[in-house]
Structure 1
């Protein structure tokens, strides 16, 4: 590992990116536009399906549980259930034994579910939730920033590698003492620097106008972002390690990014989703990036609390980077 060659490639890649004004502007403008749009579109919650939490669901007996178009989710811990309620993961929480319920007043879905509950059980009493209420824009923020990081990591690395390969840049670099590991590592750290810088600027700029909900540590949030971006960049390198066509890499990157955008909890909670769907989501790096960042922001979680997500991201990064370096192809010939 020659550090001089390594940093030379890092410097060249950074200069190349920052000189491309259109790419730099879009990286900064896109997530800002999304956050502004979501803050105006959704006043409290963005989900279309009713989700009702029930304390000890298996022991509850009520005809209300037969209501269609409502997902009933079992909770053993009342504190966890109330936290999910405040974070818009569920719309209402019912305790049939205690004949009481909790509702998120900022949730449009919660308002209608409450009417249904009172129609079936008019004697149930409403209890207020404690703590600062979380807006939908606060809840969706980690997902929007994570999604922007995903596209920047995957497409920013994938297309660059393929363009280098088609233009014979990689073929020329192969003739130098630069090794595949040095080149791949330099690309990774260059994109990591770019992604963290642009994401930080976006967060600070939007926070000035929206005053985002923040309970955790900014240092912990930065560590989650670094590890998540590292994993996504490694995945982009793996996808592009053999591709020689811009059309092919476009399809492969879309195939990689769309499942993550839909199944990683970016726009809606997977609370109450089928177990098979949750299992698939566990294999997506964006799932753990968004979940970890969301816990730090809205729950004040520490690195120990999210060690599971950090561990998964670290393992994924190691696997993706190792495979990407091993299968890396310098040439454009088929």
Structure 2
């Protein structure tokens, strides 16, 4: 059993690394994205002011009805102040105590403060300081997560359909190889490839741009492995029976585009409609990106992101279980 598993695992890795076009795309596409964002979004990448609120808005106050300002509600004062220190907020206001906090190193915070004291001069001022999280720092987990998503989904889905269409799976069925061994080898092979590629891109980009990293690299690696496994399992599920590359491609796009748009890759979902945030929680990329950002920018531990970890583990079991149950060597109609 071990020899059969290792033979499939080794063959799949050699097939990938010998395909120079696929290897080059997986290496340089995310790198080019990060470099591009570094120059395009040299500032914080936002076009509007973002003000945190601790408590309810007071009535009859122009400051809390300004246009081009996003107001975000917070229940946790410590979390909100950390967001302000990291320049994720421009100003933090607590109407009940008539207190506001400003980051003295934030230019946008200065102008937001002028707007506040122009309308509410009696509010008490508190000053915080902290290293700015650039938009590049914030978007990095999303870019790497998105690249992992495409590699996981299409790297497994298309390969299995191609094997089935070329009768490779039909020939493998005649060998002592079991379906569980084949699927496990495919999952672990793709996981190995994704982690090696993403790890190399992360190290290269970190060397060039000195990313904001407060948490443990080991925790980040574990979260990345769980998220990648969940998306590999989803790709396996999408390709469990089909002969058609076109159909499989459509199914993979059907699950990848919502993840790319709703998983917080490019923008935060804070302040988004509740229904959108609920849908996003059912996407594996959302859990991966949220956990990775918490580790990198907030210094979170595995205990702090255990909710995302448990959700990703549940997704892995669900997708792998369904994929193994639905898997056919020859597919439907053969």
Q: Give the TM-score range, shorter chain.
A: over 0.9
Structure 2 matches for 1:1-334, cutoff 5 A?
2-48=1-47, 50-57=49-56, 62-87=61-86, 89-96=88-95, 97-103=97-103, 105-106=105-106, 113-122=112-121, 124=123, 127-332=126-331, 334=333
CA contact (8 A) 1:89 1:269 kept: no
The alpha carbon displacement at 1:84 in A equals 2.4
Asked if the contact 1:103/1:114 (under 8 Å) is kept, the reply is no
Deviation at 1:114, TM superposition (A): 4.3
Secondary structure of the equivalent of 1:206?
helix
1:142-191 Cα distance to aligned partner (Å, 9 max, x none): 11111111011001111111111111111111111212211111100000
Aligned-residue CA RMSD in angstroms?
2.1
State the distance in 1 between where 2:237 and 2:6 align. Answer: 21
Contact 2:101 2:126 in 1 (8 A): yes
Residues 141 and 292 in structure 2, CA contact (< 8 A), matched pair in contact too: yes
Moved more, 131-140 or 200-209: 131-140
How far, CA to CA, are the matches of 1:274 and 1:303 in structure 2? 28
Say how many residue pairs are matched.
332
Q: Distance in 1 between matches of 2:72 and 2:37?
A: 26
Contact 2:241–2:331 under 8 Å retained in 1? no
Change over 3 Å in CA distance of 1:65–1:290 after alignment to 2: same
The residue matched to 2:128 in structure 1 has which SS?
A: coil
Asked if the contact 2:99–2:126 (Cα under 8 Å) also holds between the matched residues in 1, the reply is: no
* Cα-to-partner distance string for 1:126-155 (whole Å, 9 max, x where unaligned): 543333221111111111111111011001
TM-score by length of 1: 0.92
- TM-score (normalizing by structure 2): 0.92
1:49–1:321 distance in 2 versus 1, CA, 3 Å? farther
- 1:112 Cα shift? 5.7
Kept in 1: contact 2:43–2:135 (CA 8 A): yes
In the TM superposition, what is the alpha-carbon distance from 1:82 to its structure 2 partner? 1.7
Structure 2: gaps of 5 or more residues: none
Give distance in 1, aligned partners of 2:233 and 2:215.
Answer: 27
